[in-house]
A and B are shown apart, each in its own frame.
Chain A
Amino acid sequence: MAAAEGGKIDPMHQFLIEPVLGRHWIVGGYDLSFTNSALWMVVTLASLWLFMLGGMKRELVPGRWQAAVEGFTGFVSSMLTSNVGPEGKRFVPYVFSLFMFILFANILGLLPFGIVPGVHPFTVTSHLTVTGVLAIISFSIVLIVGFGRHGFHFFSLFVPHGTPPLMIPLIFVVELMSFLVRPFSLGLRLFVAMTAGHILLKVLAAFVVNGLNLGGGYIAIVTLPSFLLMIGITLLELLVAAIQAYVFALLTSVYLNDAVNLH
């Protein structure tokens, strides 16, 4: 993960995508290689599936694991119920998948797998292609539900109640712009938060390592403070990992509310 080139640690190297085992699979002109990113998507899916499997005992009185899983499903379903209303229950499978995928990917990216030789942790959600696709899926669902339910009446979403007739064209354009920006803000927010956190951690880690290499007083004035700061930032990043997953799911349910109930 850290490409040490003459003592220099590149904080961007952790985001590099490369095919696992160095093989490229070109299908129909497209490179569909099984990359480290794809590997971590599969790891995310597998660990999430394992986690959910513990909640499938379906006992009347839940054990710890079942209670944890039911806590997550209850969290998502109550979020949808409070934002969308009773109809929000329909979207529980999608928003739950979204929330848990982002949460697990964020946290798996933060776990110290790097201490195992040969294992390179990778944060799937620090890639714009991934967060962008998730944002586009959410936005498409909003569009499909909105137009499927209200038809062209869905455009009334862009004209809030009580707009003076003179202002309608202007307001319509402004609201349409803000609506169209949603998928970008949704995708960019997660990508930027994850990328920034991991760069910061890597820069601090480089300080720790370089200070140790220099030895002597540098350990006291560079390594130790950086290491203490790293501990704090790591805890903060764990919080950010959960908050960004929550924000993504919450905004999706808010947008779904627009699509289901208009204003």
Chain B
Amino acid sequence: MPQISQIAATYASQIFWLLITFGLLYFVVGKGMVTKIVSTVDAREQRITGDLAAAEAARAQADRVEEAWRIEMDAARNAAMAETASAKAQAVQSAEQQVKAADADLAERIGHHELAIANAKAEALATLETVAAEAARDLVAKLSGVGVTIDQAAHAVREVRAHG
């Protein structure tokens, strides 16, 4: 096994060249390059964390805006509904009032007309009695030649009407 049998002859060269190459490797690659690469990775991770935090903040901000918008919309909708309801109530009320006023007006006018009709009827009846009394007087005068006054005739007519 050369690793053992050659060890006395080669150990110095092996150790010497290993220390040179591994030393170069450690200082150039390990200390120089790896440090830079690790810092690049760290910077990238930091950037990603920062970006994620910013995105999270933006999302929270958007949520807040949406919440505010929602509250505002709710308030506006409620206000609109309240306004509609009050307008509807007002409309109903005013319609009722108008109907009521119209009813009253109609009732009043009907009353007037009924009164006029009653008056006309009474007047007609009175006129009818007078006409009947005059006709009775004339009939009496023509048939019996007895001259009765108009008052007597009227009285007689009234009596006949009362008894049917």
Residues of A within 8 A of B (CB): 12-13, 15-17, 30-35, 37-38, 41-42, 44-45, 48-49, 52-53, 55-56, 58, 60, 69-70, 73-74, 77, 89, 92-94, 96-97, 100-101, 124, 126-130, 133-134, 137, 191, 195
Q: Are A97 and B1 in contact (CB under 8 A)?
A: no
A62 → chain B, closest Cβ, in Å?
8
B9 contacts across to A, CB distance below 8 A: 31
Among A31, A70, A100, which residue has its beta carbon within 8 angstroms of that of B37? A70
**B40 closest partner in A (C-beta):** A58
Q: Are A37 and B2 in contact (CB under 8 A)?
A: no
**B9 closest partner in A (C-beta):** A31
Q: Given A30-B12, A100-B29: A133 and B6 within 8 A (CB)?
A: no
Q: How many A-B residue pairs have CB under 8 A?
A: 131
Q: Are B18 and A97 in contact (CB under 8 A)?
A: no
Q: Are A133 and B29 in contact (CB under 8 A)?
A: no
Q: Given the complex of chains A and B, what is the CA–CA distance between A55 and B18 in angstroms?
A: 25
Other than A16-B2, A37-B17, A52-B33, give 12 A-B pairs with Cβ distance below 8 A. A17-B2, A33-B13, A35-B10, A38-B17, A41-B22, A56-B37, A58-B37, A69-B37, A73-B38, A128-B3, A129-B14, A133-B15
Q: Are A30 and B16 in contact (CB under 8 A)?
A: yes
A247 → chain B, closest Cβ, in Å?
18
Residues of B within 8 A of A (CB): 1-4, 6-7, 9-19, 21-22, 24-26, 28-31, 33-38, 40-41, 44, 47
Most A CB contacts (10 A, CB to CB) among B1, B25, B41 go to B25
Among B6, B16, B21, B40, which residue has its beta carbon within 8 angstroms of that of A44? B21
Majority-rule SS of A interface residues: helix
Q: Given the complex of chains A and B, what is the CA–CA distance between A96 and B34 in angstroms?
A: 8
Most A CB contacts (10 A, CB to CB) among B9, B13, B31 go to B13
The 6 A-B pairs at the shortest CB distance, nearest first, are namely A93-B30, A38-B17, A97-B30, A30-B12, A129-B14, A41-B21
What are some 12 contacts across the A-B interface (CB < 8 A)? A13-B2, A16-B2, A17-B2, A30-B16, A32-B13, A35-B13, A38-B14, A73-B34, A97-B30, A128-B3, A134-B18, A191-B3
Q: Are A52 and B16 in contact (CB under 8 A)?
A: no
B130 → chain A, closest Cβ, in Å?
125
B12 → chain A, closest Cβ, in Å?
4
**A30 closest partner in B (C-beta):** B12
Q: Given A38-B17, A130-B18: A60 and B10 within 8 A (CB)?
A: no
A42 contacts across to B, CB distance below 8 A: 17, 21
Among B10, B18, B22, B33, which residue has its beta carbon within 8 angstroms of that of A17? B10
B1 contacts across to A, CB distance below 8 A: 12, 15, 195
Q: Given A45-B24, A55-B37, A97-B30: A133 and B12 within 8 A (CB)?
A: no
